[in-house]
Structure 1
Amino acid sequence: MKTFSKTGLVLAGLCSATLALGQQYNSYDDRYNDRSDRMRDQRRYDRQSDRDRERVLDERREYNRRNDENPRYDNRYEDRYDDNRRFSEEDLSKAYDEGFEDGMRNQEVTERQERREKYKHFTFGIYAGANSTRFEGENVDNKKLTGRLGYQLGFFVRGGGRVYGQIGAEYLTSSSEFYRAGDGQVGSVSDITANIDQRYLHVPAYIGVKLAQSDRGVSAVRLAVGAEYATPLSTDKNDFNLGNADFQAATINGLVNLGFDAGPIMLSFVYHHGFADVLSSGNSQRRILGVNLGVKF
């Protein structure tokens, strides 16, 4: 019985040792297989690297051979490269110039737009001034000029840019010298020379141009032409016994206006040229020269 037990223990120990050795061998075999795979991969990589290095060397040798056979190859390549580089610089310079010109044009457009937005297109103004009146063909005696002076008050509305339109209304007093010859007989009608003072309503309209102007058009040198409707309002008592009924109810005068604007201050010289006689007796077309000083808003 004891012999059977010893035999069983020996067999169990042998089995355990066999299993341990088998596991150790399998582990060693796995490590060996892994190492073999790595070595195989390394040899494959080395062979691929050798082929790549050989290919690079072949290309280099071929390149050197071509250069030896044709030494101008590199020169031609460099010339083409230089040509391309010069062409690119020219394109760059041209593009820069075009971009600069576009930028300047855009800036000019922007500045013009700003000037248009800031330009004072509409102006309202009032003025006052003095005038002197004579008739067509009449020579004015400077000594009697003070007896012909009158004045005017008015307002206007002006609209537009460098070319503008203007319309307004004006109250004007006029002193005109009239003459009536006598018949030369003693005790009969004698020569009469006297001034007749009148008040008129004028409605002037102009088309003008600013010969020079500021950015906003507030200050300018102006020249305008136009026409006005004139109608008498009243006539003072006079030696000729003439009243409103003796004068034309309405006449048309031509206008020339030279003006100077300095900010809100305005100075202008106006010439009124009558186209029709104010009296039916003839030779009574009025010529008025006036000067005005005013302000604009």
Structure 2
Amino acid sequence: MDAPEGGQQDESLLVTAHVSDTFRRCQQYALDTGIPADRIFSDPIVSIPLPIYEEADDRVVFGSTRPEAFWHPLAWLPEAQAMPATWLDEDGAPESESDQEWAMRLALELAASGLYDPSRGWVDILALHGLDIATPAVIERITRWLTGAADPTLDAIDLTPYFAATDTLYGRGWAHIRVEGTFFAYRSAAWAVTARTLIEELRTVNVEALRDPDAREVLVTIGAIAATYLDGVPTPDSADDDYPDRLSAIPSTVDLDADGDVSADTIRDADMGLLRILDEIAADYGDAETDLASAEADAIKQLEKITQGAAS
């Protein structure tokens, strides 16, 4: 199997370049790994889909049963990286990272550990242990192991030292601290990218052609992506209705199950309504990408120092 979608060479793991890529990569990752879509985390705050590990017998488990997926670091995450962190606050009440905070922290840790490098891509974990995923013998070996057979090499794979090395070099909990200090900036930038790239895509659509049920799917898809990935955007007090309610209502107005007689006015209104919301969000977060640039540059420099130290 090829590299899972996302995290290609020369690409940051933080904040997607185009939100349609986020949507498409999630779908492709589900096909490649066999993991159900509801067990995959997908959000434009990161450029990659992330598996939601399952808890079983006091351990966490990667959800794929396809041996071809096991060359990738995401198949071997330690529990501390595979799950949102939990802790007790000063009053003893349990707290935990949000899914977005966890995803951002994991992206930072994967880059800092050297398991992902923008200039080289992902580390092949099996190759580090002398196994070639392209050979039928290794595929068969992993298949047996997934069904419960003992395998000393596979049983011994543990990525904990990679992540522990960054804590040693940069300070325990460095990624949590980084997320606490920059989460809102990255989340805002992700919303800005989502709105901006969907506006660009929407403006390429021939509205008149959308009366065709097949072509109408384009508008429905863009609306669904917007409703999914902009669900948490705060609605200004001046707005009449919440952004999530307005976004989720748009696809149903041009329902794909409707006959071809959906009026041109209805389609045009849906198109303009979606564009109006996206324009509002883009305006609200128009400076987010610029504001993030200097912080991201500092973060990259810091992560490069960690990665160089871990490699020496």
**Higher helix share goes to which structure?**
2
Give the TM-score normalised by structure 1.
0.17
Give the TM-score normalised by structure 2.
0.16
**Higher strand share goes to which structure?**
1
